[in-house]
Chains A and B, each alone.
Chain A
Amino acid sequence: MFKIKLKFISLIICMLIIVSSVSACSSKGSNNSNAQKESKSVTQITVWYPWSGPDGNVIKQWAEDFNKTHPNIEVNAQLVPGSGIGSSQGKFHTAVAGGNPPDAVLYWDYSSIPLLASQGLIEPLDDLLSGIKEDGSKFTESSWSSVKFDGKIYGLPEMTSVLVFFWNKDMFKNVGLDPDKPPTTLQEVDDMAQKLTLKQNGKYVHFGFIPWIGQGTPLSWAGLFGVQDYVVNDKPNLENNTGLEKILEWEASYSKKYDPNQINNFFAALSQNNADQNDPFILGKVAMKVDGMWEIANIKQYAPNLNYGVAPIPTAPGGKENSSVLIENVWMIPKGAKHASEALQFIEWTYDVHRQADAGDQVFNISPVKEAAKLQKINNDPKAKVCIDLMTSGHVSFSVQSKATFAIKNALDNAFQAAQYLQKTPQEALKQAQSEAEQTLAQQGQ
């Protein structure tokens, strides 16, 4: 009797352990239980967004407002740093591979679309969009063309902005430069930078300009210098690319003038490419920089008394006048999203003209919806107006949408760093970048 009882009890315990460990595994299960709830009441959808701050608050607010007026759908907006894409790619990729992706994901870089699309991580939206009669006509041309890849539509624009040139008027005055006349060519930038750099007791107090801080990324400069042949037929074309060599030599000239170790140590304590109070420009540590127009909101918050100006980016050799670089946040639908139509419903709802105008004003971006952009109050802000004019009538460059772009971006980041540290000549750095990019593409089976 005792033996039977013991066997019975141990059997139950075993089953409990097995059941609990299996249900802990990735839950297609939990979505099913949601499905049962849904058919009775509310469809719950999950949406990932990549940042906090004013940009993230816009998304949270949109979700709240949508939920109030749409009793059948509940949007659960989750802050996932970097949306788990890019160098934090683990989370997004794992979610898709595990069959558990969010229903929509918002990302701050439209140039990730080719890689995600070609690897099958996001869905083409053509059928869904034609079903709801979205033909992209309400969007600006630049924002709509950047969500297309390989003949299909893979995303929807959320917000757009441009890169512009910032200069500190007080620092200009201090060295005898006219504070109301920003440089118009990069050559002028180089000359003014020299006057604006101050060194005391062998230590730098502040710099005039450094090409690679702020949003001075390799592909941004490529666009500004008019170099668009870094990828040809989906293959990297970096070695002996004279356009890229020119950019690298220009950046290296700063390292040669000011010593790379001193530059990097100087900026190590300050925030790198992030919009916050440790930004070197806000702290008066650098007199000029190339950065996104959203910095205007940042400066308003953290340094409202800063006396500065905003201008089109000075013309680069080989570039066009009034050049700028497009920055765009995009919505994407991951592969395996269970409520893609509801997610699209939410996204389309955000395109209401007044809603877009308000949001754009909050984050100092330009709405991709043409009519909304006209309504935005920042049109009245002289600094923002410069940016808006650049977007509408300047020469805005994009990164080339190719499935090789991601590999090229990574390889160029390394190459540019090597040149900035004066560890390699531009030619050597590009040669290595070429093999690195080819290597990465080979790994991916392309």
Chain B
Amino acid sequence: MIRTLGQRMAVRLPFSVQQRQLVFYWLVLLAPLPLAIYAIGLGRYEIAPGEVIDALVRMVVDPPDAAAAPDIVYNVVTRIRLPRITASLLIGANLAVTGVAFQGIFRNPLVDSNILGVTSGAGFGAALMLLISAGAGMVQLSAFGFGLLAVFLAYTVSRLYYSAPLLVLTLVGILIGSFFGSLTSVLKYIADPLDSLPAITYWLMGSLADVTMSDIPLLLIISVVGMAFMWAVRWRLNVLSLGDHEAQALGLNPTRLKLMIILFSTLMTSVAVSVGGVIGWVGLVIPHAARTLVGPDHQRLIPATMALGASFLLVIDTLARTLWSTEVPLGVFTGLVGVPLLLAILRINKTGWK
């Protein structure tokens, strides 16, 4: 008799599905912290664990004067690794949780937050600024702005049509995304192959190599507010995924709620993309992985997705910055790791989408 991997696992584990999901839930939820602590000790510049701890303690207790002689160990730990690890956790959580929220409201397992064109818009915004050789601040601002603009366009244009709002919104979102994708291609075509073209190409593959402390505040604020919102609406997402009529029957205003979720998701994705560039796959793969581990109930799925997304991008980014002397674009890595992971999940998935 041929049994699936899930059946074999079920045979080996003496727990019920519910118990197992509870264990996974807590494991996933707690994973980012030890991983982050471990990651801060890793890097191309070798620092003994004691010195890392010493630097972190000094940062909290007695931050050295900025004018003082530069201390490489302290700088590496607090100014290079800490912002980067923070950014990878926040961006991973953002992309993953917006993915699960979109899959919930669109009732479609194939979407992530890019379905309304936010990433394509942000990519165009960044490419535009990279083309005219603007500074890093302008690139981020433009990426953020065009990400919002793309979703705004998709949403308003879709209101012009009266049939099947969700389907139209999806379709218009895909169209707007393709439109910005074409605009980006135009920019790449006219870009200087010596200078702006590699910058645009690299940006479109995602990287956290340039992240500094100054990038963190906005990312942190939007991420925390956004994640708090997602946490707050997590049971409503369960209702929404039943369909609009059921949601209305249960006293929800599904249109307003969806708009709110789209708004917050777009803000979260935009800020993530503006800092880290286009990092694909996280928003699609992680929700499925989380669903496999903790089940489809958004009460647990939302926190688990955030934690799993944070852990995933942290691991990927740590590999990207430590494996070789050059940085590997994150989009490449998430694809290389994400696709086999998704295939494996589809194989063992027992509790997700049918």
Query: Do A and B bind?
Result: no
Contact residues of B with A, CB < 8 Å? none
